Structures are given as C-alpha cells and as structure tokens.
Chains A and B, each alone.
Chain A
Amino acid sequence: MAMTMTQKILAAHAGLESVKAGQLIMANLDLVLGNDITTPVAINEFKSNGFEGVFDKNKIALVMDHFVPNKDIKAAQQCKQCRLFAKSFNIKNYFDVGDMGIEHALLPEKGLVAPGDCVIGADSHTCTYGALGAFSTGVGSTDMAAGMATGKGWFKVPSAIKFNLVGELKPHVSGKDVILHIIGMIGVDGALYRSMEFSGEGLKSLSIDDRLCMANMAIEAGAKNGIFEVDEITLAYIGERVSREYTVYSADPDAEYDETYTIDLSAIESTVACPHLPENTRLARELGDVKPDQVVIGSCTNGRISDMKAAAEILKGKHVADGVRCIIIPATQSIYKECIKRGYIDIFIDAGCVVSTPTCGPCLGGYMGILAEDEIAVATTNRNFVGRMGHVTSKIYLASPEVAASSAVAGKIVDPTEL
C-alpha cells in the first residue's frame, strides 16, 4: 500500500511492512528529548513509577535552555534536578550552561538527528527536525518518562497534507514568511493531528535554516509533524555532522494526501502574524502604523546563523529607532561564536541592540525581555498568544528576522524593501 514519507518512517520503526492512517502502532525511538521545564515533571513520573534505568544513555538529550542561566531559585532547583538525573544515569547528551543552546537549534547542529529517525521530545517544537527528513513530534512529560525508560512510544499514524513548493524566494523573504503564509491560509488547526509534507522543485531555494524554521512552526497549524523531502541540501548539512548510518525515506509517488496545496514561493511577500494567533497574517507593508516597544530576534524558530546574517545586513551602519529595545539571541554557542567572527556582534551593539547568551527566555515570557502593560513586540518567535511574552494586555507580532530588524530601525513595522 502506498505510504507518505511519515508513514514509511513510522512503519520501519514499528517493524511493519506498511501502515495506514488511523492505525495505532508502537514504534522504536531514536532520540528522546526534554528541557529544564518538562524534564522535572518526567523525572518525577519516572521515579514514582519505579523505573530503574534508561533504555539507552546515548539516545536521550536533556537541554537546559528555557530558564537558563537560571532565572530564579525555583528554576535553579529544576535544573539541579535534571543535572543529578543526567549524572545518575550517565546521560551522554546533557547540555548545561557553557555548552547548551536552544534545543531545536542545538540538536541538528550537534548531529543528533538524522534523516529517517523517529524522535519524540517533551517540547512542542520538536517537530523542527522534520526539516532533516526525520519523523519528529512533541509529546508531554509522561510520554517522555515512558520513552526514556522503554525506548518506545505509541502513535496514531497520521494522514498528511502535501505542500508542493514551486518557484524561488524573492530577496528579503525567508522560510518564516512562507510558513506564516501557510498558517494564515490553513489556520491554527488546519493540520490538526496530521503531517505537513513539503516537497517540490521550490525546495532548491530553501536553505536548511529556512526549512528548520518552517518545520518548527508546523505545530502552529496543529500538525503532528512537518517533514521535508531529503535532497542535496539536506545531505550536505547532515554529511558534516552525522557519522552514524541512517536511511533516507521518500513518499511513494501514489501516496494518498487529504489535500495538496501548490505554493509559489516567488509570490510570497514579507508576512506578519498579528495578535493573538499565528493565523492572523497580514503583509508587512499593509500593517500601517504599528510601533514596537521591543524587538526580539532569536528563538528555536529564528536564532540560527542565517537569521543573524539577515539581521546584521539590515542593522549594519544603522541605529534602532528611539524608544525601541532590540534584543538579539543567537541560539547556540557556535552560532554566537560565528557572529563574533563575522563581526555581527559589533554591528548589533553599534546599532543599539543587546545580545544575550542562548536562552528561550523572552519567547515564552520567562525572562530576559518581558513586556509591560499594553506594550507591543515584534518577534521572530513562534507564538503570539495572549500574555505569551509578559503582561496580559501586551501584543506580539510574529515576523522574519528581516522584518524584525527593519522594524527596529524604522520604529514601526515595515517591509524590508521599504527601509
């Protein structure tokens, strides 16, 4: 029976010849991920159920990134609990201050995910790794605890929506604009319970960073996972990082899809999601006079080197507008170092921005950039829900690094071509 890319990966990990949408399966996991917020809940479950060991100390990744470096005593206690757990089970991929980064930027960079893998993570943006041709999905802490103990997870096999990408991105337009455009089109529950599969000749104009950003936000359309066909661009990225064996899967030509959309990349313009849902999309040039108090450039969605490059090219020799606070957060230590090497940090600081060590901090209203009453933020993050970044009356506009940096300089939301 013909299968989608996701179905093929799930079948292989369940030891089955084939699977079909709706089928319940038990699959072997290649990686189980948790962070400093979700892991403590998982550890409590793990311990109270008397599990005595982990299934594979090399296939668990614990990344301290949400409230790290510790924002307060409680956050410090949670990290300590994770640290002691990692030590007691000799977890190899435990990342703490000094070598941590934002989990979904860090794991691909470290070569911990390969095409064809089956990954669960107690973080909803675990769907990011679909950019590399893996099946990867967010779960809760109980599933994480069971995954750490048994190396297995149960899944309902999803059906899929196919996105056939054609054409080429215009200058100043990136993967963020494409995924915001798609979420605007299908809605925040448009892909509920399903896979979003991205393929087509348009892939050629999407860098790995564009794809990671797009797969990252599949969850904002309700999807179980987002996944990209593997091509030379994927293999070039993986080749430098992954030394173990892996399998590349592709959808059968006659696989069934619930819906198929053709997306012409060349028609996409800079797109912004207005408060308070990622589906409330408008073109940046049509927004009128929206004046940000704060601009955040970073996160698991847009904290990678090409995002830093896009921001630096716009901010070079310019200054953020009066009254705008601009916070830039390279997502990992190696991205941070690369920014230093390329002179981006000088550009950012000279432009009046602050640069932070890697952290999820402001994206989820944790710390390092909380909004006051009625304040407006333009952020390259992934959610603009009520109160997400601070006060319940604050407002968040989601945008690409190009739009965010341009808006910081202009003092209002603009299309980068207007700057």
Chain B
Amino acid sequence: MNANGFVHKYGDNVDTDVIIPARYLNTADHKELASHCMEDIDKDFVKKVNDGDIMVGGANFGCGSSREHAPIAIKKSGISCVIAKTFARIFYRNAINIGLAILECPEASERIEAGDNVAIDFDTGVITNITKNETYQAEPFPEFIKDIINSDGLLNSLKK
C-alpha cells in the first residue's frame, strides 16, 4: 500500500475545530463534512485538494474535540495520508479507526513544504520527497493497523 500526492502544509496544534467547525456538526454526511474541511484556516483547501494529496502538520495535530467528523472530513476530501510531528491521541485513534492513514515523522514534518510532491511506502515507512529529492523514515504500520486502513476502518476489518 502506497500514497503519492501533493502536500497541503499547516503548523502546530491544528485543532478539530478548524478541521471541521462545530457549526457543521449537525450532519454526519461524509461528503457534506468534507465540503467544509479546513475552511477556518485555509478557505481554499477544498478547491485546491486533489484525490491522493497529502496533509502535513506540526506538533499535536488534531487536538481538541473527539469528533470523528474531523478525520472523516479529511479522508473524504481526498487526502491519502496525514503526516505530523505528533498527533493528539483521540485524533490518532479516530483516524486509524475510520481508515485514514497517518504517520508520525518529525523530520518529514519539518522538511516538507506546501506543494511538494511526496510518495509514501507504508510497508517500509519511507517517505520520499520527490520535489526535494529527500527521504525520511517513519515507523511503518504493524500488520493489524494496515489491515484496518485497507479495510476502510476498524469495524469493517472486524467483519472479515
């Protein structure tokens, strides 16, 4: 399993209120949530994002509320993987549970810039910055996490 796309870059402490503001939480519809993804810090994100793109943040990405709507909005917007220095724990758990790939990699978080073309090999944890011709090493997923992400979420993976 792999990802390859262009990068949308953000700073430290990207919180779930900016990922999907609570004023849109009166729905659980994935497409509608995705249509407001990131709008309070990057109002053009939904126009710019293409399927397979990669999101990169700094420390404590996804802090704040436990709303699963946040990783759902990111995933449905087309993002194939979120890379950050560190993740807030509820977001980390929710992202894996709904099948959104996420990687902790401080070096990648620091070096990668907006617009870079980045490829990820989830089996080895190697992140390749094609634009800058650099590689960064993240901890690869254990098999059971890969299985959850490939199955499109925890509950789907349990059905098998």
Q: Does B133 contact A (CB under 8 A)?
A: no
Q: Does B5 contact A (CB under 8 A)?
A: no
In the complex, which residue of chain A has the Cβ closest to the Cβ of B29?
A74
CB pair A188 B90 closer than 8 Å: no
Report how far A17 CA is from B87 CA in the complex, Å.
Answer: 31
Q: Given A146-B155, A387-B18 in contact, is the A74-B66 Cβ separation under 8 Å?
A: no
A residues 179-195 near B (Cβ < 8 Å) are 188-189, 192-193
A38: which B residues are within 8 A, CB to CB? 66-68
* B interface residues, how many (CB within 8 angstroms): 38
Least distance between A68 CB and chain B CB atoms (Å): 11
Report how far A71 CA is from B27 CA in the complex, Å.
Answer: 12
Q: Given A189-B86, A392-B40 in contact, is the A45-B155 Cβ separation under 8 Å?
A: yes
In the complex, which residue of chain A has the Cβ closest to the Cβ of B71?
A140
B72: which A residues are within 8 A, CB to CB? 41
Q: Does B1 contact A (CB under 8 A)?
A: no
In the complex, which residue of chain A has the Cβ closest to the Cβ of B95?
A140
CB pair A192 B88 closer than 8 Å: yes
In the complex, which residue of chain B has the Cβ closest to the Cβ of A50?
B159
Select the residue from B15, B158, B159 with max chain A CB neighbours within 10 A.
B15
Q: Given A189-B60, A189-B86, A192-B60 in contact, is the A124-B26 Cβ separation under 8 Å?
A: no
Report how far A44 CA is from B71 CA in the complex, Å.
Answer: 16
B65: which A residues are within 8 A, CB to CB? 123-124, 364, 383
B residues 129-160 near A (Cβ < 8 Å) are 153-156, 158-159
Q: Specify the main secondary structure of chain A where it touches its partner.
A: loop
Q: Does B93 contact A (CB under 8 A)?
A: yes
Least distance between B86 CB and chain A CB atoms (Å): 6
CB pair B66 A365 closer than 8 Å: no
Report how far A40 CA is from B69 CA in the complex, Å.
Answer: 11
Residues of A within 8 A of B (CB): 37-38, 40-41, 44-45, 48-50, 66-67, 71-72, 74-75, 78, 121-124, 126, 138-143, 145-146, 188-189, 192-193, 219, 222, 224, 277, 364-366, 383, 385-388, 392
- Selected A-B contacts with CB under 8 Å, 13 pairs: A37-B25, A71-B26, A122-B68, A123-B65, A140-B66, A140-B67, A140-B97, A142-B68, A188-B13, A193-B89, A365-B17, A387-B18, A392-B40
